[in-house]
Amino acid sequence: MAIAVASCWINAFASAGASRSSLSSQRLFSSPPISATRLVIPKATSKRQNPKRNQKESARKSSPEKEANMQKLSRRSRDEKYSNADDYSDTNSAEQQPQSTAFKSFGTQRKNAKGFMGNLKDQQGETTKIQDASFLNAVVKVYCTHTAPDYSLPWQKQRQYTSTGSAFMIGDGKLLTNAHCVEHNTQVKVKRRGDDTKYVAKVLAKGMECDIALLSVENEKFWKGAEPLQFGHLPRLQDPVTVVGYPLGGDTISVTKGVVSRIEVTSYAHGSAELLGIQIDAAINPGNSGGPAFNDQGECIGVAFQVYRSDDTENIGYVIPTTVVSHFLDDYERNGKYTGFPSLGILLQKLENPALRACLKVPSNEGVLVRRVEPTSGASNVLKEGDVIVSFDGVEVGSEGTVPFRSTERIAFRYLISQKFTGDIAELGIIRSGAFMKVHTAVNPRVHLVPYHIEGGQPSYLIVAGLVFTPLSEPLIDEECEDSIGLKLLTKARYSMARFKGEQIVILSQVLANEVNIGYEDMSNEQVLKFNGTRIKNIHHLAHLVDSCTDKYLVFEFEDNYLAVLDREASSAASPCILKDYGIPSERSSDLLEPYVDPVGENQVIEHHDLGDSPVTNSDFGFDGLQWA
């Protein structure tokens, strides 16, 4: 099984984006390993490959942790398929949607040859109609040059690679595409259909969670005679859908047709969120990413972005619906930048068992149990473990963690939260110790202890006498390979929550061998916990402690009471030589040159957990009765 971002046609077959996006979704699931289970992003063959990633590709594929993380996704898919099988037939009969062209053609062939020829003429007429449709001219090809950071050597970049994808015009001199199509971009160009000129585009905003990017083109020639696309409403099951883009297999525009198969909250492979998604059976291939999906009226109903692949399934593609796109655009208009989709920051459990509801004094078949509240969440001062949420902004929450959706459907409770904007206030109806009450809380994006993407693109680093420190991140785990990171550090990365905003897991990435650090050369990927007895909050805090140290020795404390001690004066004298010998321009990243600001406050005490700050168990990330909101 695999969920693949229907990625831009990347000319680096084993490029950086492939594994990072896959890891984003893997982190959500954990269970025993199964065969033929991977989370990948398909890339096309390239002129320039990344040898560093190629060397580690086989290690990533064989990682037991990664294989284990995927079975939950496989189980989730099978469960959804079975549970929605009846919904398909009920909805189809109730809505009486028109049949797709394929079904019409099949029925006609069974009658007679004359009917078949008539149907063939209809199809030819329909093809001509599509080719002549003006909305196709709003779809453009994207050419991007990427230069990703080198997370293992954070002071430099990796070798650049190129990719192609799709985008479309939305008016006001702007284009929409997928965020993964322009990630780590150094140059973006776009070309219109039927034109041989490429125009430089600027990336205005990127939403990693929702995998959407907003582009602009300043050259007026590009917009001459252009007609932007019109957004349509959320489609219904079996509605016809047409996907347009520039996928692998040719240079001209491509059109594929299908129907809407399912609409539900979906895991977005490139980001760390679960948002509304449209499942379709139209072909989505590498290069289709960022291209629009149309309804029969020529209205854009979403953006193609990923596919689901398995030995047991076929023709499962996903489209970002216009509700998510509109949220992204409204967020940008409100704040001048993308701020993210909010979350309550709580771990929930379904209340399907009658005895469990009775024990919690819940009178009816409703509500979800609050199992844990993240310390960084706005709800941490409002909700308590053991509370039962029975309503959100007046909408009743069912015992399965679902809420009413449209007329006859239900959808995951998280959908209501995702409709909010950062800083909005939500009204929650809760049952606490048998008593009903209403509380209010602000909703904000989740704070990840180990980030999925690095803000600003370049990771932070600090070099002290050849000891290279950097924050732990998902891209670094992917680049280093999980085997070299170590099980204990991986456990923290997967199942720990941040105690405060700005907290980081700081690791000793490697040691640049020198006479001053003899005996420590073999240390790598070890978490540093304390410096001279002070617990480290983040890498900026570590840099501040080192800079302000006046002691004779620099004492770094790692896991299992392992110590690395350096002479302070000898370290200061050796640092310039080490940097010169290894060709490193600076002993620290530019962000660490700024004055340090304590994210917590000097007088505030932070409770410490040995496993890394509020650990979360494997089952907490599953879907068998548990879910984040």
The four Cα atoms 128, 130, 133, 139 give a dihedral, to 10 degrees, of: -130
User: 466 near 574, Cβ under 8 Å?
Assistant: yes
Q: List 188's β-bridge partners, or say none.
A: 144, 201
Question: Which residue reads 């939500």 in tokens?
Answer: 426
Taking CA 41 as the corner, what is the angle to CA 38 and CA 43, rounded to the nearest 5 degrees? 125
Token duo for residue 385? 């473990």
Amino acid at 395: V
Q: What's the per-residue H, E or C state across 540-585?
A: HHHHHHHHCCCCCEEEEEEHHHCEEEEEHHHHHHHHHHHHHHCCCC
Q: Which of 261, 289, 391, 418 is catalytic?
A: 289
Question: Which residue reads 């505030």 in tokens?
Answer: 604
3-class DSSP assignment, residue 188: strand
Q: Which of 180, 270, 541, 544 is catalytic?
A: 180
Q: What whole-number distance in Å separates Cα of residue 613 and Cα of residue 599?
A: 16
Residue 315 CB coordination number (10 Å)? 15
Alpha helices in 336-471 (DSSP H): 354-359, 414-418
Token duo for residue 363? 């009178």
3-class DSSP assignment, residue 20: helix
The four Cα atoms 360, 435, 624, 443 give a dihedral, to 10 degrees, of: -150
Radius of gyration of the chain (CA): 26
Q: What are phi and psi of 479, to 5 degrees?
A: -70, -35
Q: Do β-strands 425-432 and 435-442 pair in parallel, antiparallel, or remain unpaired? A: antiparallel
Amino acid at 370: V
State yes or no: is 35 an active-site residue: no
The H or E element containing residue 21 is helix 16-26
Alpha helices in 300-370 (DSSP H): 322-335, 354-359
Q: Which of 15, 24, 211, 343 is catalytic?
A: 211
| 110 contacts: CB under 8 Å, gap ≥ 6 | none
Residue 225 CB coordination number (10 Å)? 7
Look up residue 97 and give its DSSP letter. P
Token duo for residue 456? 């600003």
Taking CA 502 as the corner, what is the angle to CA 501 and CA 507, rounded to the nearest 5 degrees? 135
Q: What whole-number distance in Å separates Cα of residue 597 and Cα of residue 451?
A: 20
Burial class of residue 72, CB neighbours in 10 A (0-12, 13-18, 19+): buried
Taking CA 135 as the corner, what is the angle to CA 134 and CA 139, rounded to the nearest 5 degrees? 120
State yes or no: is 289 an active-site residue: yes
Q: What are phi and psi of 131, to 5 degrees?
A: -65, -35
Question: Which residue reads 């999906």 in tokens?
Answer: 293
State yes or no: is 211 an active-site residue: yes
Which residue numbers are catalytic? 180, 211, 289
